[in-house]
Amino acid sequence: MNQINLSGKVAVITGASRGLGRAIALSLASAGAGLALVSRDQKKLAETAEAVRKLGAAAETFAADISQEEQVLRLEKEVMAKFSKIHILINNAGINIRKPLTEFTMGEWNQVLQTNLTGAFLMCRSFVPRMKGLGFGRVINLTSIMSHVALAGRSAYAASKAGLLGLTRALALEVASEKITVNAISPGPIATDMNAPLLQNPELNQQFISKIPLGRWGKEEEIGRLALYLCAEEAGFLTGTDIVIDGGWCAQ
């Protein structure tokens, strides 16, 4: 992994304020990529940026709600004003609302779909054209094991993540001639804020661990390293697919 060199490359990472987005930022920074870090929480983003700079990489922060079209269009202008070229887009920002389908309000349903699916569409529409003509481009979408299997209480999340995998495949075909690859990472349970309700409840936590064949939660850095691999020149023949990294969950 230490041989992967992304110096001279610039990556836009959404949801970089914490969790997997932060881990991916640190991983790409360790390979020398310049980073445009995006989320709504400017203060937390600044902390990620500081950690990135300590690794010797350039980082700029951008506050935006990626579920809002006008904010993504503004973000595109702001990012392009700071970085003249964009080589990598990591669509990581995502939310989950866990409840039975029949209890979802329209607002809650829209919030999940707008963030997890429409947000990725808006980001791709703004930034993928910037990769054209560079002879290199990488899009990585954070999907989920819920793109493949389901759990009760995850209808909006599973629908959004299955949709995002479909978007991944279609976009990969649209931009393959430009040597832009489009892939997804489908994690199983990783110990981040998103899973705080499960991690903080000893009974639910134990139930979850007992469903993971490897018997533990995944670590943020494990996703960071996989994202780094997908960004490498060596991963140039990999497109239109996802890599499931789930401790064996989907093999059952």
Q: Which of 4, 6, 14, 122 binds ligand NAP (CB under 6 A)?
A: 14
Q: Are strands 137-142 and 180-187 parallel, antiparallel or unpaired?
A: parallel
Confirm or reject binding of residue 93 to ligand NAP (CB under 6 A).
yes
Q: CB of residue 96 vs ligand NAP: minimum separation in angstroms?
A: 6
Instruction: Answer whether 96's CB lies under 8 Å from 146's CB.
Output: no
Closer by beta carbon to ligand NAP, 14 or else 27: 14
* CA–CA separation, 124 and 139 (whole Å): 8
Could you tell me which stretch among 11-19, 148-156, 207-215, 236-244 binds ligand NAP (CB under 6 A)? 11-19
Q: Least Å distance between CB 149 and ligand NAP? A: 12
**156 binds ligand NAP per the rule CB under 6 A:** no
Select the span of 92-100, 165-173, 203-211, 229-237 touching ligand NAP (CB under 6 A): 92-100
* DSSP sequence for 175-196: HGGGTEEEEEEEE--B-SGGGH
Are the C-beta atoms of residues 183 and 230 closer than 8 Å to each other? yes
Three-state secondary structure along 105-158?
CHHHHHHHHHHHHHHHHHHHHHHHHHHCCCCCEEEEEECCHHHCCCCCCCHHHH
Would you call 157 a catalytic residue per the annotation? yes
| Alpha-carbon span 27 to 89, nearest angstrom | 14
Rank residues 44 and 179 by Cβ distance to ligand NAP and give the closer one.
Answer: 44
| Catalytic option among 121, 127, 157, 217 | 157
Task: Judge whether 228 and 27 are in contact, CB under 8 Å.
Answer: yes
For the bound state, the minimum distance from the C-beta of residue 151 to ligand NAP, rounded and expressed in Å, comes to 12
The site for ligand NAP, by CB under 6 A, has a size of 28
Residues that bind ligand NAP (CB under 6 A): 14-15, 17-21, 39-41, 44, 65-67, 92-95, 115, 142, 144, 187, 189-190, 192-195
